[in-house]
Amino acid sequence: MRLIILAVGRLKAGPERELCARYLDRSAKGGRALGLSGPDVTEIAESAARRPEDRMAEEGAALLAALPEAGAVLALDPRGLEMTSEQIAADLAALRDRGSRSLTFVIGGADGLSEAVRGRADRLIAFGRATFPHQLVRVMMAEQIYRATTILAGHPYHKA
């Protein structure tokens, strides 16, 4: 199963980009033995629209256009379900075992996700109720993907 992070905005050079790259590399290496490829990252340009509603709509249309036709979609949204790392790993394994071709984790821009993207998602998940910059959320998502691969592999990285 192909893992994808689809995100609004670009990670500029710096510590967030380096940390994200480190977790993505670790995930790619550990995921191969688990039947996982990627995670690949697709970045969508931030909208320059003046109104937040217009920005969300433009970014939402671009996100929907970039989604693979087949596959599962988990969108990060503060109103989503708070999941444990074990639950994320179990969902990932269940989708893989059911033959899903891909799993895309969608991260919106600073204004959040459009209703169209939220409606397309198979599940909305949250990293708590606090607000985080979307660049930091990308690092957190990359770490959770890596953590899921270690949980599935029985690696001692995850200490529950």
Binding site, annotated residues: 76, 108
Give the number of other CB atoms < 10 A from CB of residue 156: 7
14: tokens are: 């710096």
Please report, in range form, the residues annotated as the binding site for S-adenosyl-L-methionine. 76, 108
Give the number of other CB atoms < 10 A from CB of residue 51: 10
CA distance 60 to 53: 10
Q: Which is nearest to 144 in space by CA: 33, 18, 5, 35?
A: 5
Return the SS3 of 71.
Answer: coil
Return the SS3 of 68.
Answer: coil
